[in-house]
Structure 1
Amino acid sequence: MDDVSKVLKRHAYITKTSTSLIYAILVSIAVNFFWTPGHIYSSGITGFAQLLTTISERFFPMTITTGVGLFLLNIPLFLLAWRAISRQFTVFTVITVFLSSLMIQMINPIQLTHDPIICAIFGGAVNGFGTGLALKNGISTGGLDILGIVIRDRTGRSIGSINIAFNTLIILAAGTMYGWPYAFYSALSLIVNAKVMDMTYTKQQRMQVMIITSRPNTVIDSVQNHLRRGITILHNAEGAYQHDSKTILFTVISRYEMGELEEALLESDPHAFASLSDTVKILGRFYDPMP
């Protein structure tokens, strides 16, 4: 059993490291092929690193490249993650940010186009896919992600307002440095980035599930063997067609868990009826396996 556990753990480490490399390549493509030629700023710490590069080019005798700036700006957040989250989380975050900085430095820009709209859309899409892929595999890309996890764990609140304020400053900086139309282009890139990331990373999207079954105990056992979710039971339901006795089960899952739910239902009651709908907001305890 210990050998199996070691193999699974090693496989998880290899998967995370490989995903870190893929993300690093994608973010370097977004920065070097689209954002930099189009004078577009990214969100978060990456955008701050781009801004630092622009300022150092114009006003400092030495240019601080985006790759170097990205790593340096993340160092205080690494220390915060080490103390407040976990060592394993911090190690993989350092690996991801280091590879991203390295790839941004190593991959030479290809001047595909200078059209700011094209650069905004495709840069945002490439980076959004990379970020979503990283989050889907349990990897943080550094930056405000770390601050968000710490604040969420300590206060139960998100840092949505902090994100909005920070990214608003980045957008205004783009307008100041390159002209105000580029503020709107950067905002467009942020929107595309967020939409593609949501399409790729579905773990944060909640769904309400209603299951109608005549085998409630079997279904409950199967679902809870596959998923760590609580279930509410409504007894004495009746089917309108054959007037047979039914039980209604309610739970909430993430969209990422839909496949496991379907597998659990097929194993326990292939004739069960299940309805899934998007949930706008959840109040109360909802298990989140992310750090």
Structure 2
Amino acid sequence: MASNSNSRIFAYGAFGSNNVGDEAILEGIRKIYPECIQIYHNKVRNGIGYLPGQLLDGRISFKENDYLIIGGGGLLYDRTTVIIMTNLAKKARAAGATVDILRLGCEAAAPEYEKEIADLFRLARRASVRSTASQRIMNRIMAETFSVEFDFAFNLDNDVEAMPRRKRKQHEILTIGIVTASIDKQELNIFSDLIHQRINRSCANPVRFIHIPHSRSYFNPSNNDCVTGHMLWSLSRTHNAINDDMLIIEPFDGEPRSVLSKYKQLDGVISSRYHGLIFGKLAKIPTLAIGSTQIKIASFIEDHASEMLFRQ
């Protein structure tokens, strides 16, 4: 927690990267620190923010009594990003600021840069991780057991609880959300086969699907759910569908509360994205996790087992 009421609160995460899950993390931090200043990647969605370079080259300076939060989200995906976070932490501490690592996802940490990860963690006054899997990884790297605190996005639970839920009419077919994570061929085949089985004219119990994009990457087409959604449209053999509304491809919406309100209108969701699973849990709808052999998805299943969560 910040130690001085006059201190500025900074948070570094994958904010501004056109990923609604990362924006939900920011909104979760703002539940605790409404005036939080984001250190973002590409473009600010709203509020005040700076690029890491602006703080590292001195255009913007940390001050004594400032508070820097590193996290949450899965930020250990490459050495360069770890070094950026380390340099920010060093800069903040040199100015007299406090640094905490909070609710960090460590599932993507690779052995090649474990030393750099350990260097980063040693700069923090306090550190917590978002999953039991992350806890095990950091225990292996540092021989220390860090506390588990679930993703900041869960701080939006009261907001989601207040959102209206769609009341399904008698005999109305189910509406299920689809949340994809990549254009991986195997994943696309799983989704397209499932969709085709339930939208075609011969299906006795048809289901309507809505593809909800979580990411529209500025740089990586394979992490652009809008691209993936339209690929699914063609791969699901929609020419055999009862009608074209059996598979709806939603446009990208970067506002977390807006997207969460869409989840509240669903009868369930099928997701291969970590934050798709979080959103399903927040909306209290049946959720099927795709890709349960992947460490990030497996970590969610381990920590959030319930009668509403299923695995493929």
Q: TM-score, normalised by structure 1?
A: 0.27
Higher relative contact order (CA 8 A, sep 6+): 1
Larger Rg: 1
User: Where is the helix percentage greater, Structure 1 or Structure 2?
Assistant: 1
User: Where is the strand percentage greater, Structure 1 or Structure 2?
Assistant: 2
Q: TM-score, normalised by structure 2?
A: 0.26
